[in-house]
Amino acid sequence: MNKALTLLAAAILLTACSGTSSGAQSSPTSASPTASATTSGAAPTAEEMAWAGQVCTAALDLKTSIQGLATAVAAGGGDVKTSLSTQLNTIKTSVNTLVDTVSQVPKGAENDPDRAAVQTSAQQLRSSLDTLENSISALGAGTPTAAQLASVGTAAKATVTALDATGQAIDTAAKNQKGSLGQAFATNSSCAPLRS
């Protein structure tokens, strides 16, 4: 069973470290808009710049929280469920912060074309979080079975995939810059790890 726990911890950590939301694909030259960017909106306001930074920071904080699942599994000892449940609470807080931040777009930017995909992907995180929560709740007392751990691993991967979609939406908005929010994502230094 220790081998199964070690494999689950490694799988969660590797999954959480992959993809756009990890910054693994970012490059120092991506801070400036690409040549193909179509800037059709006005320059971002100070509020829009602050909002973009808060969204990106919340996404990166969520990534860190998800990576904490691996630590929870490794440190769980005989009570993996309690360790995972504690970390799940941290992930829930991070997801709620991200979703709430995305929904609180600055006044005047409610219909910005760069907002929709980011908002949709953030909402999908809530659904993946429900699945993760159910898989952790299904763990029995004591040492979980390999099947239960596999279920948690699959749910954690789905949450990482949903987070990656949010990172991709931010990156696409930063590249396309159809509105001022895309420009804010493209120029806010907090968003650099999410841009490719």
Q: What is the pTM of this model?
A: 0.80
In this prediction, residue 30 has a pLDDT band, given cuts at 50, 70 and 90, of very low
Count how many domains the chain has: 1
Q: Give 105-122 pLDDT, tens digit per residue.
A: 999 999 999 999 999 998
pLDDT tens-digit readout, 136-193: 998 877 777 788 888 888 898 899 899 999 999 999 999 999 999 999 999 999 999 9
Does the pLDDT at position 29 exceed 80?
no
Q: Among candidates 123, 155, 188, which has minimal Cα distance to 15?
A: 155
Percent of the chain with pLDDT strictly greater than 90: 50
Question: Which residue segment(s) compose the domain that 74 sits in?
Answer: 42-194
Q: Where is pLDDT greater, at 30 or 135?
A: 135
CATH number for the domain harbouring residue 105: 1.20.1420.10
In a domain, 36, yes or no: no
132 within some domain = yes
**Residue 170 belongs to a domain:** yes
pLDDT score, position 4: 52
Q: What is the DSSP string of 90-139?
A: HHHHHHHHHHHHHHSPPTT-TT-TTTHHHHHHHHHHHHHHHHHHHHHHTP
Q: How confident is the model at residue 14 (pLDDT cuts 50, 70, 90)?
A: low
Percent of the chain with pLDDT over 70: 77
